[in-house]
Amino acid sequence: MNHLRNLHPRLLSRAAHLHSTLLQARFFSGTIPYLACHSNQKMQTKSGSGSCQQNEPSKSASAETPSQNTKSMLSAAFWSCHSTWRRSGLNTSRCLVGCTVGDFSALWTLQSYCPELGMNTIMLAAMASGITTSVILETVLLKLGPDNLSWNKAGQTAMGMGMVSMVAMELAENAVDYHLTGGVIAFENPQFWAAAMLSIGAGFLAPLPYNYARLKRYGKACH
């Protein structure tokens, strides 16, 4: 009996020690991957590797200082993610379709039926039409596509996601078009179509770096 009494405190001590060890293991099992992730990122930054990792946002990511974010955006590795370029290119293309359709349709309609408005007014109206058409297109895609949002939510999301991208696209597209053709729509003239292709290309390239940086840094797409 005395032997059992002496053994009981030892068992309790070992059980307490085992319980403490298990708690520590559970705690550090959640932090080890986090530390490994950041150590890999530091190694990749030092080695100048162009590899791309799309990590899920975490609390630590939001705690980064502005200087760290600025430094990462200025590094070559930040701009070398092929998958992010493809995704941002696709998003920009969707925006470009809506902007171009609305823009050129308004230019042709207003020049044909309301030429007295003047070219400056017509081009401003065409830019507004392009942005509106892009928002409508994205609203329909968000409603009928895989996102399956409600019409109200889809409209709010479309208007809030890529306004900077759409404005930059419209400015670049109309600036090139106005410089080459004066903004005149002439479907029978081959020079008009050549100028249209150049203006569309400028409209695609102008917001592309912004869309890439937004997607890469914050995980947010323009569309």
Q: Do 192 and 186 contact (CB within 8 A), yes or no? A: yes
Question: With pLDDT > 90 as the criterion, what percentage of the chain qualifies?
Answer: 42
Query: Dihedral, CA atoms, 149, 151, 156, 157, nearest 10 degrees?
Result: 30
pLDDT of residue 20: 54
CA-wise closest residue to 204 among 169, 180, 176, 170: 169
Q: Tell me how long the chain is.
A: 223
Distance CA(81)–CA(79), nearest Å, equals 6
**Six-digit token pair at 222?**
């323009």
**Six-digit token pair at 41?**
């990122």
User: Highest mean pLDDT: which of 12-21, 49-58, 115-124?
Assistant: 115-124
Say which amino acid occupies 24: Q
Write b or e for each residue in 46-56: b if 16 or more Cβ atoms lie within 10 A of its Cβ, otherwise e: eeeeeeeeeee
When comparing pLDDT for 48 and 151, which is higher?
Answer: 151
pLDDT of residue 145: 84
pLDDT of residue 198: 97
What are 145-160's pLDDT values in tens digits?
887 888 998 888 777 7
Q: Do 196 and 104 contact (CB within 8 A), yes or no? A: yes
How large is the angle between the packed helices 163-181 and 151-161, nearest 10 degrees?
Answer: 60
Helix extents (H) in 118-189: 119-144, 151-161, 163-181
Q: Do 211 and 96 contact (CB within 8 A), yes or no? A: no
This prediction has a pTM of 0.65
φ and ψ at 57, to 5 degrees?
Answer: -65, 140
pLDDT of residue 58: 42
What are 184-198's pLDDT values in tens digits?
888 899 999 999 999
Distance CA(74)–CA(48), nearest Å, equals 12
Contacts of 155-159 with CB under 8 Å at 24 or more apart are 158/223, 159/135
